[in-house]
Chain A
Amino acid sequence: MSVMNAAELEQLINQLPVLPAVVQRAVEVIDSEEASQSEVADILAQDPAMVTQLLGLANSPFYGLSGKVLSIEKACIILGMHTIRNALLAAGAMRTFPASSSRYYDREVLWQHALSVAGVAKFLASRLRMDEGSAFTAGLLHDIGKLAFDECCPERLAEVNLYQRENDCYEYEAELVVLGIGHMKLGEKLAQYWKLPAAVTVTIAGHHSANLAEENSELMALVNLSDLLCHSLQIMSQDDVTVPPLINNCLPTLNVTWDQIREWLPEIGALIQQTTRA
């Protein structure tokens, strides 16, 4: 077992995959604030598979349109450019790390967990009057660093797994010891490379931190709590579940209590089951 040196880490980061070109261009156009729905639709039309993926996401229960949207232009009008931008980034990430290209990890399981966390984060955001689109995107992408490990250095992940089992620690602790970098840090690097929104980037970087970041602390707390709830409610459907730590001041930051969570748990459980079956 050898920890990656600085050059190997740099090489790992340089290997990080790019987002599909149409997603990059569409996001740039949306960010220019002069974007029209037809302009975004024209860019995406160059990649029919991306259109299908984006419409699939827009029509999923997470975005609440349930089969009502058949064109990108209509999706832009109904959901708004901000939500479309988030959905585009999510669809782009799913395209970049397809479940069918698993190397060491079972990406199907990783994406199912990511979708569960995204759905729960969106549910909690609606109850707590937070931005639901950002909650969904941050939830979906919180573990993107694990997918990056699977893409860039799958041969090292068996060592991580072995260290974790032998030392009875969390996976991210084992990553740090074995590889010298955890999936949160690698995910942050990827998020910066992909120019994801700052709040999403901070959340990816800190979702297992001991303390909240000074900025965007609410979104980080929301995803941390959603992650814990998903792990807690998947103990019967997945083996070897370990509930990760709660970030300090997580609940006070969200202004939520355990009693409220107890009340919402049946709905959250149903949401997770719905995701797992999808």
Chain B
Amino acid sequence: MITIMSDEKIHPDADITVSDSNRDEIVTRIERAFCKVKNDSELKELRLIVEEYYLGAQL
């Protein structure tokens, strides 16, 4: 389960700030980018890392 931390900058260099207004778009874009790799266990790892990067996910 992913917990999204609102209005928090993930790291000093990231321009993308998660907020109520764009979190749905980030989730959608990640879903779309990884839509073809559902059965690839290695890329599931990458997807988790990318979710953490953008959303500060607590997995």
Contact B42 A266 (CB under 8 A): no
Contact B33 A243 (CB under 8 A): yes
Distance, CA A258 to CA B29, complexed state (A): 21
Stretch at the interface among A26-34, A58-66, A118-126, A234-242: A234-242
Interface footprint category on A:
20 to 34
Contact A246 B13 (CB under 8 A): no
How many residues on chain B are close to A (CB under 8 Å)?
A: 26
Contact A236 B54 (CB under 8 A): yes
Chain A residue at minimum C-beta to C-beta distance from B44: A258
Contact B11 A266 (CB under 8 A): yes
Q: Which residues of B contact A168 (CB under 8 A)?
A: 36
Contact A245 B16 (CB under 8 A): no
Distance, CA A265 to CA B48, complexed state (A): 12
Chain B residue at minimum C-beta to C-beta distance from A243: B33
Chain B residue at minimum C-beta to C-beta distance from A250: B42
Distance, CA A228 to CA B30, complexed state (A): 13
Contact A243 B37 (CB under 8 A): yes
B14 within 8 A of A: yes
Binding site for A on B (CB under 8 A): 10-16, 26, 29-30, 32-37, 40, 42-43, 45-46, 49-50, 52-54
What are 14 A-B interface contacts by the 8 Å CB criterion?
Answer: A168-B36, A228-B46, A232-B50, A242-B32, A243-B33, A243-B36, A243-B37, A243-B43, A245-B37, A258-B49, A265-B53, A267-B13, A269-B14, A273-B14
